[in-house]
Amino acid sequence: MNVATSREAFLSDQRARLNERVAEYRHLDLVTPSGVDLRVVFKTRVSMPNILMALSRIADGTYGECVDCEENIPHGRLLVVPGAIRCVRCQNTEEDRIADKR
């Protein structure tokens, strides 16, 4: 299997996993008999936009490319953090930058 084929297979698998999450989140109930389920609110308000952005990046061909250094984000990172837009090095730099502003 060549590199292009393995990348396409990875993207196809990721697209399927992300679409499964979207379907799961759409069927979650925000309000339960005991009140608002904050875990569900977090999933839908925080995770959903990241998932939709990842699907958009797959569609436009930029998924897996770091927005800062433009290097490829390792597949292992994308499996753990499907919405990752930065490689680990650039993400650490971004987090340090944000921490310095506090």
Question: Residue 43: which of 14, 83, 13, 4 has the closest Cα?
Answer: 83
CATH number belonging to domain 3-101: 1.20.120.910
For 36, which DSSP code? E
Record the pTM. 0.74
pLDDT category, 8, cuts 50, 70, 90?
A: very high
Domain segments of the chain as ranges: 3-101
Q: How many CA atoms lie within 13 A of 48 on its CB side?
A: 14
- pLDDT tens figures, 53-82: 999 999 999 999 999 999 999 999 999 999
Does 92 have pLDDT greater than 90? yes
Does 27 have pLDDT greater than 80? no
Query: How far is the CA of 77 from the CAs of 18, 22, 54, 85, in angstroms?
Result: 15, 20, 13, 10
Q: How does DSSP assign 52-87, residue by residue?
A: HHHHHHHHHT-TTB-TTT-PBPPHHHHHHSTT--S-
**95 within 8 A of 88, measured Cβ to Cβ:** no
